Amino acid sequence: MSSLNAQEMYQFMNERNIILSFVGDLTREVTTPLLQNIKKSINKLQIRKKTKTVLYDVIVECIDNISRHNVVTDTENKLLPEKSVMFIFCRDEHNFTVITGNHVYSERVKQLQHNLETINSSDNKKLKKLYDEVLSHKFKTGREQIGLGMIEIALSTGSKFKYEFREIGKGVSFYVQQVLVPLD
């Protein structure tokens, strides 16, 4: 990488107020120090303690989701050439933004879209009811229909999920999700 490219990258990240970003394999050995760095970065911010807590909880849930649900093989069980995940944490005047990206099997895209739209179209009252229903279903069957963590994010932030799925071939799509955490 040339110093000009590095300078352009620095300028790009600085203009967008990127606090922390990560692209790579999210192993256990990487996750712990990454979360420690995130916690340090959040603690340095001049914001209310409650906002810090919500922000950290959202980030932990997002990182947990991409580490647990990232696929590393295509539908023919061949290793993907790019098995990396993406994580970006930035800030603007009104919000913190948490952006994640990971690979998912394309056959899951419709269900994920349905789950996200169900959450996005629900107000707090409906989200609380949905949370209880999912928790009850998980208790009875051992499986979740919709991720409890996603519902918790929606409840704690009051924000809608922005997302995109991009087919990359051989039964795999790249899933990008954006969550806003409002500044108080």
- Cα 55 to its chain centre, rounded Å, is 12
**What pLDDT does 117 receive?**
96
Q: Which top CATH class is 3-182?
A: alpha beta
**What pLDDT does 63 receive?**
95
Residue 182: count of CB within 10 angstroms of its CB: 13
**What pLDDT does 171 receive?**
92
- Residues with Cβ within 8 Å of 63's Cβ and at least 6 positions away in sequence, in order, are 26, 31, 34, 35, 87, 100
Token pair listed for 61: 């849930």
**What pLDDT does 179 receive?**
97
**What pLDDT does 144 receive?**
65
The residue ranges of the chain whose pLDDT is under 70 are 1-4, 82-83, 139-144
- Closest to 34 in 3D by CA, of 59, 52, 15: 59
